[in-house]
A and B are shown apart, each in its own frame.
Chain A
Amino acid sequence: MSVNLDSYLGIQPDALEVYSQRADVLAANLANADTPGYQAKDIDFRAALAAAGQNQDPGAPGASGGGLQPETTSPDDLTASPAQGGVSTEQYLKYRVPLAPSLDGNTVDSQMEEGAFAQNNVRYEASLTFLEERFGDLNTVISD
């Protein structure tokens, strides 16, 4: 019996990736809080994570299985899941609907971005904790 580490860890690694990219976007918003004409962006998290989950499941329709696949010549060979090219969130970027746009065309609301950033970080930490426990379980299985 083989344990597929990817499916064992579930959605959490992808979630971690999407959270980190969202942190990136929110940091860019905060850095440009005083840039005239800058329009705040955010990641459509639900869509991005749904796509990431599809990517993870090799059999799912729309899964991108690019790259060379190793051939299995014996039934004992491990089956390889398609190469995962990371999670791309670029197409899920959306402009924020400004609550109170300023005269210079800047749509960054620093307080809101700070809040979103803090929330994003907490969720990142939560995903990390989940992964931590998964690894802990694995450790228990290995050492016992």
Chain B
Amino acid sequence: MALSNIFDIAGSGMSAESVRLNTVASNLANADSVSNSPQSAYKARYPVFQAVQDSLTAGTGPNGAADASVKVQGIVQSTTPGTASYDPGNPLADANGYVYSSNVNVVEQMADMISASRSYQNDADVLNTSKQLMLDTLKLGQS
């Protein structure tokens, strides 16, 4: 537990948020992808965040560990059904002339993107400020 731990904590937060931004980018890029069956249609992906107790004395309750970094536990796919649309001219259309689009909700993805980038900015800000404090502490008594 010290100021230097902040680099690990904020760093883990930034890496987790960048994974989230990555999934948003992937989801937005595939928002208009179509497929010839509902199973193979693109499903929106979401990262699952989990707090990691870094301290060796980690226990339960508030006194467990102060310094909890964050990690991406895994990526889950949305189970919301996508929409089927009639488009017989599409080369991917099935026997009945339907194509199946992804279940990506673009508006939701945009909101997620803003949230992720704000959190990333917060972490970067924390990192920068801590760095400045450490530099000031190093210069203590030198002036």
Q: Does B83 contact A (CB under 8 A)?
A: no
> In the bound complex, how far is the Cα of B73 from the Cα of A130, in angstroms?
44
Say yes or no: A28 contacts B68, CB within 8 Å. yes
Say yes or no: B1 contacts A32, CB within 8 Å. no
Say yes or no: A23 contacts B119, CB within 8 Å. no
Binds B, one of A33-41, A51-59, A65-73, A75-83: A33-41
Say yes or no: B62 contacts A27, CB within 8 Å. no
- Tell me the minimal C-beta distance from B131 to chain A in angstroms: 11
- Tell me the minimal C-beta distance from B61 to chain A in angstroms: 8
> In the bound complex, how far is the Cα of B10 from the Cα of A125, in angstroms?
20
- Tell me the minimal C-beta distance from B127 to chain A in angstroms: 8
Contacts of A132 in B (CB 8 A): 140-141, 143
Q: With A31-B70, A110-B122, A128-B137 given, can you name 13 additional A-B contacts, CB distance below 8 Å? A: A24-B2, A25-B66, A30-B122, A31-B9, A31-B68, A31-B126, A34-B115, A35-B70, A36-B48, A36-B49, A93-B62, A114-B122, A132-B141
Interface residues of B (CB under 8 A from A): 1-3, 5-6, 9-10, 12-13, 16-17, 20, 48-51, 57, 62-64, 66-70, 115-116, 118-119, 122-123, 125-126, 129-130, 133, 136-137, 140-141, 143
Interface residues of A (CB under 8 A from B): 16, 20-21, 23-28, 30-39, 41, 43, 89-91, 93-95, 110, 114, 117-118, 121, 124-125, 128, 131-132, 135-136
